């Protein structure tokens, strides 16, 4: 398992990497005590190596950075969120079958940009309810 192709994001690096970055991003929201997160990590790292030139693989610790998961409606771990052009375009939650996670990466690479063009993302702080 190689962690070199997965970046750790926090409140200071989120915007430049995900919201304003040039590449699509898949983010694994996790916590250190999450058993299912540990179960999914080897596959996440493997796919990060397989797709390293096409999509950024990143992780966010929800305990250390609670504002990010709150903003994007993350309710459990692990949650895998796919972003294209800064917009969330797909989500998977829980210990999913590794093949499904890989297929989701492939589909988001294929259709993510088109999906982002047809998605209107309204951040919670812009709704007037925050």
**34 annotated active-site:** yes
**115 annotated active-site:** no
φ, ψ dihedrals at 63, nearest 5°:
-80, -35
pLDDT (tens, 9 = 90+) of the chain, 130 residues, equals 567 899 999 999 999 999 998 889 999 999 999 999 999 999 999 999 999 999 999 999 999 999 999 999 999 999 999 998 888 989 999 999 999 999 999 998 887 666 656 655 555 554 444 4
Residue spans per domain, the chain: 6-112
- The residue written with tokens 């200071």 in the block is 12
Per-state percent for the chain, helix, strand, coil, to nearest 5: 40, 20, 40
Q: Which fold has domain 6-112?
A: Glutaredoxin (3.40.30)
* Residue of 6, 18, 25, 37 marked catalytic: 37
d(CA 113, CA 115): 5
* Residue of 6, 18, 26, 34 marked catalytic: 34
Distance of CA 75 to the CA centre of its chain: 14
């Amino acid at each position: 398992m190689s962690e070199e192709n997965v970046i750790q994001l926090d409140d200071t690096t989120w915007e430049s990497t995900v919201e304003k970055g040039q590449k699509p991003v898949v983010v694994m929201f996790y916590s250190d005590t999450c058993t299912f997160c540990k179960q999914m990590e080897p596959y996440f790292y493997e796919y990060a190596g397989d797709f390293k030139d096409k999509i950024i693989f990143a992780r966010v610790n929800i305990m250390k950075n609670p504002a990010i998961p709150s903003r994007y409606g993350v309710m459990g771990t692990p949650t895998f969120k796919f972003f294209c052009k800064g917009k969330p375009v797909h989500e998977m939650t829980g210990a999913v079958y590794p093949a499904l996670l890989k297929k989701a990466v492939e589909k988001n690479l294929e259709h993510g940009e088109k999906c982002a063009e047809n998605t209107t993302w309204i951040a919670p702080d812009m709704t007037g309810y925050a």
